[in-house]
Amino acid sequence: MKKVEMICIVCPMSCRLVIDVDDAGAVLSVAGNSCNRGDIYARKELTNPTRMLTSTVKISGAIYDRLPVITSSDIPKGMMFEVMKALANVEVVAPVKANDIIVENVCDLGINIIASRSMERVN
């Protein structure tokens, strides 16, 4: 058995986690987390690390030329640049509502890219 220390990145609280891992790499226990999401994060980080991804896509007819977007849930850490590539040529037209799906099933991950905010049509 060994102890692994890491900082939880789920929220800005930055809890310091101590994880007991057995010799086969399986997580035995997680301590130091303030909420259950810390437990989930620690187990994922040691087996299949994932990240939320945020970026922007081109929008026309809105107050600004960029629409901020976010993944509908976390994606495998290694897929971040692939998803960025998939967003490079996406263009939308205002109006857009917060949580509108901008790209469905991005990179076949079973995850959508959604709008972070609403953007009205402006002239």
Pick the binder of other proteins from 3, 7, 26, 82 (CB under 8 A).
7
* Binding region for other proteins (CB under 8 A) out of 19-27, 59-67, 100-108: 59-67
Residue type for 45, please? E
Q: Which helix (H) or strand (E) holds 53?
A: none
CB nearer to other proteins: give 21 or 116: 116
Cα separation of 35 and 117, whole Å?
Answer: 27
Pick the binder of other proteins from 11, 28, 93, 101 (CB under 8 A).
11
CA dihedral of residues 54, 55, 58, 63 (deg, nearest 10): 70
CB nearer to other proteins: give 65 or 104: 65
* Binding region for other proteins (CB under 8 A) out of 10-18, 19-27, 101-109: 10-18
Binding residue count for other proteins, defined by CB under 8 A: 31
Give yes or no for residue 28 binding other proteins (CB under 8 A). Answer: no
Give yes or no for residue 121 binding other proteins (CB under 8 A). Answer: no
Give yes or no for residue 9 binding other proteins (CB under 8 A). Answer: yes
Plot region of 78 (φ>0 → left; ψ -120 to 50 → alpha; else → beta): alpha
CB nearer to other proteins: give 104 or 120: 120
| HEC string for 73-114 | CCEEHHHHHHHHHHHCCCEEECCECCCCEEECCHHHCCCCEE
